[in-house]
Structure 1
């Protein structure tokens, strides 16, 4: 079967994509996003973990970024290997292992133990990512790819912001015991694995179009030649550097310097996560050309940078809520940048998986560097506020990515 026949079979056959496609994709997104919820809400638990394990600021930053360190080193290699497996099995195994590793974090008695557990948890996250690309390629028609990205962003906004809001509630319910919060998350993982195992499905038509026989070296060489992948990665790197830094240290800044409670801090963080889920759907519908996509990326980079900077200069709770909402709306760019590999001309299914992994590897570089660098700067400069102000400018890489992608065609 030729590549042209494969592309036609996968992307234009509407019959193969019944309404059940959204059940499969939605379930996967919920399972996958819960991993990001656990990885990104550590900032709320960090004061309790620090008091329990006596962590330094640098160790706090390392712990926050630990899931993304594995991404930096292993994501592309793992994507090349696991992309040959059926996405249903791949998702099921990684969700189960994620639950086990969250339990290991809950039982850890030292910094090294919890760091290693979070590092390995990051491996399960990156091993699950190729399943997303393969499921989209199996189930979603090409003209609905941006919409699928918007749906993913919506779930991320709702679930992660909900997690941030619920974390202080759970922590209070368990009397400040962060370990019990982690154990609760582990059992949610196991429940999600059960639901996915029952309702998750492969697309029987699209399975016939698999390109498993393609040589891994050839796939990697082709992916490296896609300049769009590098442009998207540059944009993500700076944006997630700031996102991970502020998620990790903003609660500490608010509690220690602004006299804002942990619950109110959680609300502020939730309000710069939740709006992006809804604006992502809107941006996906508005982005009909490379020019509109570039404009959204460039404006988003400026808004995110300036609003993060403002959060380190203003201590008014009500103003911070307004700034957080503006910041959150700008994060609607996410699906446009994440779906860039799906619009590359003549790209094949496993190449999409590896291209997405390459983009997210560069994003993980930002996520891993951000909190660690912020903690290091805090120790060096003696000021958390100044450290976060430095990190506030990193989302300007979105402006660069938007400029570089302005002449790149976006397929429909």
Structure 2
């Protein structure tokens, strides 16, 4: 049998690539919304709820689901969730009305985030604690490249199929099915740590105790709140920025897809650089970095709503993308909490993602409601642009560790 440690980056790389492909399909729906809305006659509020639906169920289900699925081996968990994701994407491509479309996207979001505990378990089994932030930065890099590429390709595919959004979703479903087969053949559970597994067994009977212990870490609440502010603005722009630029400035979907792709793709290399810088500076300076990032996000999001100059927007989205590099730093916090165990890390990361998901889910819904109320999409987008200031506030209150032994 092949030693998984010899191929740990190949195994982890395949998992990360497959995972970000799923998130790309969640995010690219913003470019399909004009076609979906024209076909099904959706109101702005319905558009907002459809954009949010992939994450709404996770507000209430992520924590119990992560506790439940973290008991299963990474390989089987990943295979099952990818198969479900593919099936639910097929449902969306077929959906005859808004209700079916909404339920399909809701289920797709749950299956996507239910896969995340496998990442935590694989990281613990394949890498040392000092490498966790590096793995997170590689995830961020792939996220930027794959999601950015998806945002560029989605409008091209849409135009090739004559604005038939169902064909685009069908293509996504087939791609997910292929990824499920690849992981089934090439994936691995990694190498178990006997000492760590014994610790998990010793506490395995105290099921509620795991969640209770995780919720006792105040760092998770604070970091999650900061993440909530950034994801609220980010998801709103991913879903509504194409519509804003098309309706207000007559900028094509190809251009807005490229602009969004530039921002997301830039966040990948930025995350790698920050993951190298942050461990080398003091705790106070780590906070200062995140504070500056929060302010930068507010300024760049506001600027994106105020101009139709493509050269200027490219510069703005590049700066915004650099700010998106915060993700590996913030989301590594669950791995470095004092006394945290592997299964608890999986639940802790899922809890932070739940708070971030609250922002993802409520952002587009809030923008849709504001547009209905104010009659002005640009004003609604300007209001939501201030949400990332939460990152600046919360980063002042949390100690950012980069090693388990750090005091």
Residue 293 of structure 1, CA deviation: 2.8
Name the counterpart of 1:375: 368
* Partner residue of 2:234 out of 238, 243, 256: 243
TM-score, normalised with respect to structure 2? 0.95
Q: In the alignment, does 2:76 pair up with 1:89?
A: yes
- 2:5 aligns to what SS in structure 1? coil
Q: In the alignment, does 2:260 pair up with 1:269?
A: yes
Name the counterpart of 1:362: 355
Residue 317 of structure 1, CA deviation: 1.6
Going from structure 1 to structure 2, the CA distance change for 1:242 and 1:37 (only over 3 Å counts) comes to: same
Structure 1 runs of 4+ with >4 Å offset: none
Distance in 2 separating the partners of 1:365 and 1:371: 11
Q: Could you report, residue by residue, the CA deviation over 1:70-125 in whole angstroms, capped at 9, with x for unpaired residues?
A: 11010001011111010111011001110000000000011111000000001101
Going from structure 1 to structure 2, the CA distance change for 1:411 and 1:44 (only over 3 Å counts) comes to: same
Q: Give yes or no for contact 2:78–2:118 (8 Å, CA) kept in 1.
A: yes
Residue 295 of structure 1, CA deviation: 2.1
Residue 21 of structure 1, CA deviation: 1.1
Going from structure 1 to structure 2, the CA distance change for 1:265 and 1:408 (only over 3 Å counts) comes to: closer
Name the counterpart of 1:155: 142
Write the mapping of 1:247-326 to structure 2, written as runs, cut at 5 A.
247-288=238-279, 289-326=282-319
Write the mapping of 1:214-229 to structure 2, written as runs, cut at 5 A.
214-229=205-220
Name the counterpart of 2:324: 331
Q: Could you report, residue by residue, the CA deviation over 1:218-268 in whole angstroms, capped at 9, with x for unpaired residues?
A: 101110111111111011101000011011110011111112111011111
Residue 343 of structure 1, CA deviation: 0.8
Q: In the alignment, does 2:22 pair up with 1:52?
A: no
Distance in 2 separating the partners of 1:203 and 1:244: 33
Name the counterpart of 1:138: 125
Distance in 2 separating the partners of 1:408 and 1:191: 38
Q: Give yes or no for contact 1:279–1:330 (8 Å, CA) kept in 2.
A: yes
Write the mapping of 1:176-191 to structure 2, written as runs, cut at 5 A.
176-191=163-178
Q: CA RMSD in A?
A: 1.3
Residue 296 of structure 1, CA deviation: 2.0
Q: Give yes or no for contact 1:138–1:207 (8 Å, CA) kept in 2.
A: no
Residue 204 of structure 1, CA deviation: 3.2
Residue 408 of structure 1, CA deviation: 4.7
Q: Give yes or no for contact 2:268–2:325 (8 Å, CA) kept in 1.
A: yes
Name the counterpart of 2:21: 34
- 1:252 aligns to what SS in structure 2? helix
Write the mapping of 1:69-148 to structure 2, written as runs, cut at 5 A.
69-148=56-135
TM-score, normalised with respect to structure 1? 0.94
Distance in 1 separating the partners of 2:303 and 2:355: 26
Residue 17 of structure 1, CA deviation: 7.5
Residue 31 of structure 1, CA deviation: 1.4
* Partner residue of 1:62 out of 49, 68, 71: 49
Q: Give yes or no for contact 2:93–2:170 (8 Å, CA) kept in 1.
A: yes
Q: Give yes or no for contact 1:293–1:336 (8 Å, CA) kept in 2.
A: no
Q: In the alignment, does 2:338 pair up with 1:351?
A: no
Q: In the alignment, does 2:152 pair up with 1:165?
A: yes
Residue 318 of structure 1, CA deviation: 1.3
* Partner residue of 1:402 out of 375, 395, 398: 395
Going from structure 1 to structure 2, the CA distance change for 1:280 and 1:214 (only over 3 Å counts) comes to: farther
Unaligned runs of 5+ in 1: 1-15
Distance in 2 separating the partners of 1:222 and 1:173: 52
Q: Give yes or no for contact 1:260–1:317 (8 Å, CA) kept in 2.
A: no
Residue 209 of structure 1, CA deviation: 3.0
Residue 206 of structure 1, CA deviation: 2.5
Going from structure 1 to structure 2, the CA distance change for 1:108 and 1:207 (only over 3 Å counts) comes to: farther
Aligned length: 396
Residue 214 of structure 1, CA deviation: 4.5
Q: Give yes or no for contact 2:290–2:391 (8 Å, CA) kept in 1.
A: yes
